Amino acid sequence: MVLNVEVCKGLGVPTCQLDMEMVERKGKGHPDVICDRAAEELSVALSKYYLEKTGRILHHNVDKCVLVGGQSNAVFGGGEVIEPIYLLLVGRAALNLPKGERVPIGKLVVKTTRDWLSENFRFLDPTTDIIIDYRIKPGSVDLVETFELGVDVPRANDTSFGVAFAPLTETEKLVYMAEKTLNSPEVKKAHPEIGEDIKVMGVRRKDRIDITVACAIISRLTPDPDHYLSVKETIKDIVYKLASKITEKDVEVYVNTADDPANNVYYLTVTGTSAEHGDDGQVGRGNRANGLITPYRPMTLEATAGKNPVSHVGKTYNIAARKIVEKLINEEESVEQASCYIVSRIGKPINEPQAINIEVYTDSPLNVIKTTAENIASEVMEEMPRIWKGFIEKQYELF
Amino acid sequence: MVLNVEVCKGLGVPTCQLDMEMVERKGKGHPDVICDRAAEELSVALSKYYLEKTGRILHHNVDKCVLVGGQSNAVFGGGEVIEPIYLLLVGRAALNLPKGERVPIGKLVVKTTRDWLSENFRFLDPTTDIIIDYRIKPGSVDLVETFELGVDVPRANDTSFGVAFAPLTETEKLVYMAEKTLNSPEVKKAHPEIGEDIKVMGVRRKDRIDITVACAIISRLTPDPDHYLSVKETIKDIVYKLASKITEKDVEVYVNTADDPANNVYYLTVTGTSAEHGDDGQVGRGNRANGLITPYRPMTLEATAGKNPVSHVGKTYNIAARKIVEKLINEEESVEQASCYIVSRIGKPINEPQAINIEVYTDSPLNVIKTTAENIASEVMEEMPRIWKGFIEKQYELF
Amino acid sequence: MVLNVEVCKGLGVPTCQLDMEMVERKGKGHPDVICDRAAEELSVALSKYYLEKTGRILHHNVDKCVLVGGQSNAVFGGGEVIEPIYLLLVGRAALNLPKGERVPIGKLVVKTTRDWLSENFRFLDPTTDIIIDYRIKPGSVDLVETFELGVDVPRANDTSFGVAFAPLTETEKLVYMAEKTLNSPEVKKAHPEIGEDIKVMGVRRKDRIDITVACAIISRLTPDPDHYLSVKETIKDIVYKLASKITEKDVEVYVNTADDPANNVYYLTVTGTSAEHGDDGQVGRGNRANGLITPYRPMTLEATAGKNPVSHVGKTYNIAARKIVEKLINEEESVEQASCYIVSRIGKPINEPQAINIEVYTDSPLNVIKTTAENIASEVMEEMPRIWKGFIEKQYELF
Amino acid sequence: MVLNVEVCKGLGVPTCQLDMEMVERKGKGHPDVICDRAAEELSVALSKYYLEKTGRILHHNVDKCVLVGGQSNAVFGGGEVIEPIYLLLVGRAALNLPKGERVPIGKLVVKTTRDWLSENFRFLDPTTDIIIDYRIKPGSVDLVETFELGVDVPRANDTSFGVAFAPLTETEKLVYMAEKTLNSPEVKKAHPEIGEDIKVMGVRRKDRIDITVACAIISRLTPDPDHYLSVKETIKDIVYKLASKITEKDVEVYVNTADDPANNVYYLTVTGTSAEHGDDGQVGRGNRANGLITPYRPMTLEATAGKNPVSHVGKTYNIAARKIVEKLINEEESVEQASCYIVSRIGKPINEPQAINIEVYTDSPLNVIKTTAENIASEVMEEMPRIWKGFIEKQYELF
């Protein structure tokens, strides 16, 4: 088998040397990320169920989900959810096992979703603050066939892309880590007022980085505007402290800039997510597979969440591309930055993509890097038929 | 007012000179594009209603929508929709006019959607093949406030991006025009078997472009496999003919590559869209505002469809950026390629973005271009408070 | 086969001689009756489909349906529906034909419902004023088996009742005819302001009958309160005129008694049904199979609408009982009044009910009547296996 | 105030002396009864909420609810719910308190329903086996007005009936007690295999009573057909034992007569209710307010469940009528049987019904009874403005 690998030198400068960057991350409590998570956890649960019952992962694609924001009346010191969030999971899945057994799809949807919600939100009651509904149908014949035809190596179920790049720039690291830190168990313990819905936007102009944080504050734990302001200060401090470890550039941090105390406008929530009041969400509208939104970088529009981890290359090629660039960075010291693009053709084995393009920033001669890059690409493609394991073991960051 | 405009030289080469490109376009019958259209037509209908009743465009954000594919039994020469498509429109909107009048939101949703469906699909009966439902709630207080505070210049209702680039490469033009041509009235008249759901993927490796077309064929008009094959040949011919006008590169065209005649697998549909059977959709998962998906190009994750055209910069800045790059290309002959990134800060006037970054490929000195670019950026920002008109008059391509 | 027929003499006096009577009828535009109709029309459509495709009527039971009232802003001279009515049809049906063909259940639901709505409402637009949804699942195995086991004579699919009585008293006739007349084409033509949602309550105390009519008035055709009052007068006149043909008793007619002009409260509707604003509905909550609600008479709680006309005795035994009492009244002049009760046992042939009880008011000796009654019961039971024809030809009044 | 009370002698014989009777009771696990309960518990929760917040019970009418049966795969010794039950609560309620506070309607619906389900079903997991949804809208203006106008005495919000009779016949008692006993804690403890969905039908022909019990058996606790048969025998024994205490008539008991062991058809359930697989339900389709369905007795079609307990006479008059007949039976020993019918007129004070009709079987002179009956009616009507208390304290049997 000959892989179509194109290795080329990056032209221009690595992203960290550009004059500008814009980077965004939506935190785990953001309505779009809730949808991503709902879809992916369902895919994992389905995959495990299929494996246990049949020894293989049957066709499914549950990569659509819409969240209709509820209504709440958060006020300083209290409030409650008035109308629950409504979460509708949508997709396709094999609903009958080969021996005629029915897949308990409804139970899988409802139970899986309640479970991870419980683990991830401290103040959202998954039995009363959210209605979980689903419309999962059996797959279309064509796609099912495409999938089941694959005996040894699964076939790509669509013509689509995966992309990745490495390493992260300082701005990217800072945006990413800001959310991770604010949502870490340590911070939550010390400052429980900090809700789970945290959105971070970073804009770098040359050596200055502006970080804008929008963070839902837990109303019950925040008795008054003064307390609220102190929580905002805490958030700023945490991000400044983090920044000092990541970058030497000038950093400015802004928190909840839409607040308008004169008009009594604060970002208060009962549950820690804006989904409780007014904000809707969908799968695939938030972070890319590396946890970031980066318009200055290659991105795919494919949602990774909810797609089946065996044949849906729009999901798996993002991870394969990431493996390639990370290995390359590790193995070739001279490579400052690498990007990888992989495109499939529907119906072909997943380890025979239509093309792999690897772009490297290096001062080594290209032919040196080229061999390494091609070898790495081969290795990663050889592992493709087993890449699904990492998904169901939740080894990969996906959103 | 001083604009934060950064003009910089593109480093490396313009996209058309890269070794590789990957470009995708989902056609108007694709489930994701149906959702985009549903959201945007509703925003337009709401905007017009608000204007007529109050003289201004009230807050709304209807940029979420999920389509649950139906079930059909398309067979050569016939078939019918067995279970209708289910379309759920989700969002926020001002539901009470200042004088207490109620907005007929349900009627607007249902009537608007049926109307454009009728105009755009020849074989989908909008009264029986689709169930149109909605969950549109009043907006959250914060956002409403943000919006209504704007007296002269509206305030940005979020911290988000807009991006654009120009001109299109040949690959991009070809992918874009392939779908447009196959969905043109002329082609539909001559070859009515060609359905509306057309997805085109283009992969260029140096001087060779592979175009993969997935096209739903109308079952009723296609009596047998031979006829089906002849339609596929027709599609190829149309794309080859188009390619010969756009590029001198080697072009190879593939159509419906997942077909598997031995197993009786063909891409037949009753209605012209895969939404009838097995394919689900969502807003913002398809083409970017220029009608393409381009991982080698700057892209935003913001869905333009359904957002309000006054204050939602995640929508309007894409068009503003496009205006900037197109003007720049037109005014400065030496500019081979330009990209523009604009980022807002929530609560600030929409004509005072946090930053505008313009990247140009040119052999002129940067300072010459810089002045032109800054002037263009200023002009476009001055027009920002009136940019909404173009949306409600449907002047801008959005998906 | 020996039928368990019990014939007994009515004790006391026929209903028309009681001191009191209470009788109610909900008209065709009432939300409950809309649900009844929706369920029954779907059953007829399904039955015809099954017959055409397989030569027999497969199992179905679509006797649940809920209507969620919309919101409208009816005002004198105009108004519109703001939020559509939501109609959810619920039930079970065989969804796969013996040869593997899928039943187009969704299309049947949506198309059937739109069609009869169009025919029955002049001012309700079935494409924008109502959302038609459904949750119809395949039947449970047990019931399907029960049904398909029947080779010659179908088996009762439940242990349930049917009841009937004849003739109607004057009060019953008047209540029944009042609605029929007000909803007749002639009255609608002459007085188009009279909406379809008409509820009539009759209370007789000895020789006086009070008739209370609640009638939705069409807002667009009613410019002002004076006009509204004149329509109410017209309704009164029509009912008084009708009453004079039916009874010599004192009749008093009241129309829209909840009106409160001082507080600007009138019964105005845009569409002719209160379902447009605030009134919800369900199957089986309105008239019994004879078109009336009669607490002084035997009634069953079974909804006739939507049940399958072959094996569901909770539907068919009401008609069988009606046939028995009507024949008996016709054949035996001395019988002033007759009631009939039939009860099935699940799993037994439908022409072998657990018991038939016929109660007669007559001055003839019981043994004379008894023979006739038993013969009639036998005849009607012999016809049972073919009674379904009358349902799908809509020969029987059902609500 | 003069009450329109008509007291008359029953003509003929009391029901227990008729040649035939048919009596039915649906148990607490029946899909229709689940809907009744859901509606009524919500009304109680709303009433308590309103009382606590405003000191009075605001308008609501949540008397519609539909249950869409799930899918399960009950087998001897196990099984699980594959698709959850879907429960949709529908109605109207005041959603804004006078001071502008929003009613947490969604939380009330979801929490209330989960709570009583937990208490009433041993094997139904309310967090995974059922999806609870709702469509509760603000009330229509007219009805709200009608209600809020009532200062001292609430006004009837509809023209409707209430009826009652006493005492129960032996057949009625037996049917009623059979379900109560089979669903009692003692029986559940001794025979946990007996599910909650129990339907009892009694048919008396002169001195013989046939009791048909349909009882869902818990699959997990029932390893095989032999065990299943032994549970059926246990049920028979319990009913026979009960019968021996209630009546001296011949009683024959049948259990699960649709079973067909040759075709492996048994009435097995995972959860104890047929709602898990194939059986749908609605409010108001089950037992009347006295817990029975009795075609030989006066019945109303009004659903008592879910209606507001202050102004909705279709609910409260059933209890008022019951109080009247029970008091009359207690106070006048000579009265063998009494029935009472009460009819309202919309907009009139609830203690001034249009008419009250009391029918008595007695060998005393009517004028003796008449005075007592009129006095009782007066007393009960005097209490009407406070009758709501009994509803929110759940003092009255309602279904």
Q: Does D366 touch chain C (CB under 8 A)?
A: no
Mean pLDDT along residues C35-53: 96
Query: In the prediction, which pLDDT does A99 show?
Result: 80
Burial B230-247 (b: 16+ CB within 10 A, else e): ebbebbbebbeebbeebb
Chains A and B touch (3+ CB pairs under 8 A): yes
Mean pLDDT along residues B56-72: 94
| pLDDT over 80 (residue A147) | no
Contacts of C107 in chain B (CB under 8 A): 80-84, 128-129
DSSP calls for C64-107: EEEEE--EE--BTTB--EEE-EEEEEEEEE--B-TTSPBP-HHH
Tell me the percentage of chain B whose pLDDT exceeds 90: 84
Mean of per-residue pLDDT scores for chain C: 93
Q: Kindly report, residue by residue over C236-254, the tens digit of the pLDDT.
A: 999 999 999 999 999 999 9
Mutate to test the interface with B, among C82, C85, C95, C271 (most CBs of B within 10 A): C82
Phi/psi of residue D72, nearest 5 degrees: -140, 170
Query: In the prediction, which pLDDT does B141 show?
Result: 46
DSSP state of B35: H
Mean pLDDT along residues B363-379: 94
Of A70, A84, A104, the CB nearest to D82: A104
Indicate where chain A has its CATH 3.30.300.280 domain(s): 5-13+159-168+286-392
Can you tell me which residue has the tokens 């870490």?
A184
Q: How confident is the model at residue A151 (pLDDT cuts 50, 70, 90)?
A: low
H or E, element range at A127? none
Q: Does B137 touch chain C (CB under 8 A)?
A: no
Tell me the percentage of chain A whose pLDDT exceeds 70: 96
Mean of per-residue pLDDT scores for chain D: 93
| pLDDT over 60 (residue C140) | no
Asked if D70 and A103 come within 8 Å (Cβ–Cβ), the reply is: no
Mutate to test the interface with B, among A64, A288, A350 (most CBs of B within 10 A): A64
Are B181 and B188 contacting, i.e. CB atoms less than 8 angstroms apart? no
**Model ipTM value:** 0.93
Query: Which among D274, D331, D310 is positioned nearest to D51, based on CA atoms?
Result: D310
Residues 6+ apart with CB under 8 A from C148: C59
Q: Kindly report, residue by residue over A354-373, the tens digit of the pLDDT.
A: 999 999 999 999 998 999 99
Indicate where chain B has its CATH 3.30.300.340 domain(s): 169-280
Can you tell me which residue has the tokens 């439902």?
B133
Q: Which chains touch C (3 or more CB pairs under 8 A)?
A: B, D
Query: In the prediction, which pLDDT does D69 show?
Result: 95
Query: In the prediction, which pLDDT does C151 show?
Result: 54
Taken as a whole, chain C contains a residue count of: 399
Are D305 and D283 contacting, i.e. CB atoms less than 8 angstroms apart? yes
Of D71, D104, D129, the CB nearest to A80: D104
Tell me the percentage of chain C whose pLDDT exceeds 70: 96
Query: In the prediction, which pLDDT does D10 show?
Result: 84
Asked if B143 and A278 come within 8 Å (Cβ–Cβ), the reply is: yes
Are B188 and B194 contacting, i.e. CB atoms less than 8 angstroms apart? yes
Residue C185 structure tokens: 């084409």
Q: Would the CA dihedral through B47, B50, B52, B56 be positive or negative?
A: negative
Q: Quick one: CATH architecture of C169-280? A: 2-Layer Sandwich (3.30)
| pLDDT over 50 (residue A142) | no
Which one is predicted more confidently, D275 or A139? D275
Query: Which among A387, A354, A314, A322 is positioned nearest to A161, based on CA atoms?
Result: A314
Mean of per-residue pLDDT scores for chain A: 93
Query: In the prediction, which pLDDT does A383 show?
Result: 93
Chain A residues 305-324 with CB within 8 Å of chain B: none
Mean pLDDT along residues A6-34: 93
Asked if D295 and C293 come within 8 Å (Cβ–Cβ), the reply is: no
DSSP calls for C242-290: HHHHH--SEEEEEE-TT-BGGGTB--EESSSSGGGTT--EETTSS--TT
The C-alpha atoms of residue C70 and residue C82 are separated, in whole angstroms, by 7
Query: In the prediction, which pLDDT does A129 show?
Result: 96
The C-alpha atoms of residue A272 and residue A269 are separated, in whole angstroms, by 5
Q: Kindly report, residue by residue over C120-129, the tens digit of the pLDDT.
A: 999 999 999 9
Query: Which among B359, B339, B365, B161 is positioned nearest to A18, based on CA atoms?
Result: B359
Distance from CA of D214 to the nearest CA of A (A): 26
Alpha helix ranges (H) inside chain D: 31-54, 105-120, 141-149, 170-182, 185-190, 225-246, 313-331, 366-383, 388-392
Mean pLDDT along residues C19-32: 95
Residues of chain D with pLDDT under 70: 1-2, 140-152
Q: Does B301 touch chain A (CB under 8 A)?
A: yes
End-to-end CA distance of chain B: 33
Q: Does A79 touch chain D (CB under 8 A)?
A: no
Query: Which pTM was predicted?
Result: 0.94
DSSP state of B39: H
H or E, element range at C121? none
| pLDDT over 80 (residue B221) | yes
Are A108 and A46 contacting, i.e. CB atoms less than 8 angstroms apart? yes
Q: Kindly report, residue by residue over B106-139, the tens digit of the pLDDT.
A: 999 999 999 999 999 999 999 999 999 999 998 7
Q: Kindly report, residue by residue over B140-191, the tens digit of the pLDDT.
A: 544 444 444 445 688 888 888 899 999 999 999 999 999 999 999 999 999 9
Q: Quick one: CATH architecture of D5-13+159-168+286-392? A: 2-Layer Sandwich (3.30)
Q: Does B114 touch chain C (CB under 8 A)?
A: yes
Q: Does C106 touch chain B (CB under 8 A)?
A: yes
DSSP state of B99: T
Nearest CA in chain A to D86: A133
The CATH fold assigned to A31-135 is GMP Synthetase; Chain A, domain 3 (3.30.300)
Q: How confident is the model at residue C139 (pLDDT cuts 50, 70, 90)?
A: confident
DSSP state of B242: H
Mean pLDDT along residues B250-259: 95
Residues 6+ apart with CB under 8 A from B317: B160, B161, B162, B342, B343, B344, B353
| pLDDT over 90 (residue C347) | no
Are C346 and D259 contacting, i.e. CB atoms less than 8 angstroms apart? no
Q: Which chains touch D (3 or more CB pairs under 8 A)?
A: A, C
Query: In the prediction, which pLDDT does C226 show?
Result: 97
Residue B249 structure tokens: 């590169």
Phi/psi of residue A205, nearest 5 degrees: -120, 105
| Secondary structure E strands in chain B | 5-9, 20-26, 60-68, 71-72, 81-83, 85-93, 130-137, 161-166, 194-205, 208-218, 250-255, 268-269, 281-282, 335-343, 355-362
Estimate the crossing angle of helix C225-246 against helix C170-182, to 10 degrees.
140
H or E, element range at A245? helix A225-246
Burial A40-52 (b: 16+ CB within 10 A, else e): bbbbbbbbebbee
Contacts of A257 in chain B (CB under 8 A): 159, 345-347
Are A283 and A64 contacting, i.e. CB atoms less than 8 angstroms apart? yes
Q: How confident is the model at residue B99 (pLDDT cuts 50, 70, 90)?
A: confident
